[in-house]
Structure 1
């Protein structure tokens, strides 16, 4: 069973370009349906990369985020060095 999906014109153009390039380089005619299914299969091989590509980037921080971090800082009055941090983290 097939289902139609709507894709933006620029994505359709890139799909058509890829389809033509496959035909030129391999001599095989590949339908857009087969090509999209193949791309989805390949995406599942690097599924986490695909998912990560939709995450919002948090770096660099906006100026508001930087200011919020500065506001929440405080000094405990105790000097801390690397060995103190190692002790806390690793026991």
Structure 2
């Protein structure tokens, strides 16, 4: 039986990152189906803890942003440079918003 499940972009990205980590650590290719089978299996085997994780999470944590990783922050900041000029908030507002 084959079916599909719509997942958020964030979940898809995280699944791909997990897949890459498993492949790097094990040296073998792993399909996303294998990952999902294993994740669901582990959740099923630990039903009480899995159900409790929903109780503890409140309404919905699916939209909570976890922030950037240290590598992502470093990559972002690598594109910046200090021109040695102090810029005030008013100057920034004038430049961005014409105020």
TM range (shorter): 0.5 to 0.7
| Deviation per residue, 1:26-81 (Å, 9 max, x gap) | 011111011101111111221111101111579xxxxxxxxxxxxxxxxxxxxxxx
Partner of residue 47, structure 1: 47
Consecutive unaligned residues of structure 2, counting only runs of 5 or more, are 59-99
Consecutive unaligned residues of structure 1, counting only runs of 5 or more, are 59-91
TM-score scaled by length of structure 1 = 0.58
Moved over 6 A (4+): none
TM-score scaled by length of structure 2 = 0.54
Aligned length: 58
Report whether the alignment pairs 1:34 with 2:29: no
Partner-residue secondary structure (3-state), 1:55: helix
